[in-house]
Structure 1
Amino acid sequence: MITFRHSFDRNFKLPRLNTFLNPYSYLIARKSPELFNKFNIYPDGIALVVFLRLFLLYKCERQSFDMTSLARVVFESAEQQGKSVYLIGTEDRYIIEAVSNISHMYSNLNICGFRNGFFYDQNDRSEALNDIYVMSPDIVVVGMGTPAQEQFLYDLWRIGWRGIGFTCGGFFHQSAKSLDYYPCWMDKLHLRWLYRIFDEPKLFKRYAFQYPRFIWYFTLDCISCYLQNR
């Protein structure tokens, strides 16, 4: 059973790897517990929060790497504390726009480097890992989708980098349009999922078919966890 956290150390006192799971990525994570157990995992999405509270009586809040949640905290804290940040993910055109928007909002944030999240081959991926390791940023944010982003951060950790890492899913793609991606009223009503379908219609299939699968498998996992702990 995946173990979730519900708090974040904004002082970056401990080096750690952080990722975020929603109902869709939970289905992926449960197949690779050996990888995801290396991470501090936060519940992303109101549906997952509701089910955690309902099945496990687990008091938690939604935590996501976007500007309605932890991204704002991370960038503000990094700017105040003079931490260097490296951003990697999405396509060139989107990461460039995202970095421009982030730099505009956080003018004193030290973005020491960035690049797209696609690799020509394994050598290109290895060079990206080595470049980041040599640069040694305090914070690395990776947006490649699950589980590629988790594997990249863990491989970076394995070669000796010891900063703090975050996965961010589609944050860079969204931030290329605007850092305030979600309309305020939809955020307050927890309708972010509905706005994402409106903005990216291809996601309808994910919500329509994968979320019901999540309910089934999450229920089975909770029952299994309960029986093991009896």
Structure 2
Amino acid sequence: MIRLDLIGQYSPAMLETNKAFSFINFASIGSFFQHPPDAIAYFCDGMLMSSFMSKVTGRTIDRVSFDFTSIAGPVFSDAEKQGKRVYIVGATQNELELFICKLHARYPRLPIAGYHNGYFDAPQLSAIQADIRLGRANVLIVGLGAGLQERFALSALNAGFTGVAFTCGGFIRQEAMANGVYYPEAINRLHLRAFYRMYREPHTIRRYAIDYPKNFLQLAAMILRHKVAINITAP
């Protein structure tokens, strides 16, 4: 049986933990089915997943995403207030540098322990992990895509990283290339984020049109057959 640990909502206390947190929706859960990682707790990324899991478990599980419509702002703000050193991995070098500039402008007192783009091979992995430790990072933000980013976060913990890790999907690239923030306020308020992303990034249409219904049916079947144990866990 596969165990799925869910977190209902974000808490600033998470920044004091030595854990990895990720985000699951009806697209990314496909990689979870294939390679269920140990020792990762998941937020429900998207209203469909949060609504579904709330009904299945009988508990209120919020929609929590790593973007500026959800917990990205609180994570960076809390890290800035607490003097936590942040290390960021993901996107191309140009996108990453644009993102770091935006981050400095928005959180001028946020300590940046270091950063590395998301294009590296296996021999470079140990060097990046060493850089994370040498930079005395307390918060690790990883945007490498579903599956790979979870494995990277766990490998960092196993290699001696003593802080907290959050995955972030395409957040770094999206914010780097956006004028202002990625999602306009009206789009966020009307809960049209998925449609807006399909408009901005047409390659995601397949994800919403095909992967979402397919993975929904697979997850529902696995729950009915008791092949998935869902655990609501505290931070």
Question: Which range, TM-score by smaller chain?
Answer: over 0.9
Partner of residue 129, structure 1: 129
Letter in 1 for 2:115: F
Letter of the 1:7 counterpart: Q
Distance 1:191 1:122, change over 3 A: same
Task: Give 3-state SS (helix, strand or coil) of 1:165's partner.
Answer: strand
Change (3 A) 1:163 1:228: closer
TM-score by length of structure 2 reads 0.91
Aligned length, in residue pairs: 226
Counterpart AA for 2:135? M
In structure 1, C-alpha distance between the alignment counterparts of 2:114 and 2:128, rounded to whole Å: 11
CA distance in 1, matches of 2:229, 2:193: 35
Indicate the residue corresponding to 1:59 in structure 2.
Answer: 60
Give the RMSD, CA atoms, in angstroms. 1.8
List, as ranges, runs of 4+ consecutive aligned residues in structure 1 with deviation greater than 4 Å: 226-229
Q: Tell me the distance in 2 between the aligned counterparts of 1:221 and 1:2.
A: 12
What is the SS of the residue equivalent to 2:174?
Answer: helix
Q: Which runs of 5+ in 1 are unaligned?
A: none
> SS of 1:114's equivalent?
strand
- 2:152 paired residue number: 152
Letter matched to residue 176 of structure 2: A
Residue of structure 2 in register with 1:193 after alignment: 194
Query: How high is the TM-score relative to the length of structure 1?
Result: 0.92
Give the superposition deviation at 1:172: 0.2
Q: Which residue of 1 aligns with 2:6?
A: 4
CA drift of 1:52 comes to 1.1
Q: What is the distance in 1 between the residues matched to 2:87 and 2:229?
A: 41
Distance in 1 (alpha carbons) for counterparts of 2:53 and 2:10:
18
Deviation at 1:15, TM superposition (A): 1.8
User: What letter corresponds to residue 130 of structure 1 in structure 2?
Assistant: A
1:139 maps to a residue whose letter is V
Distance 1:19 1:227 in 2: 18
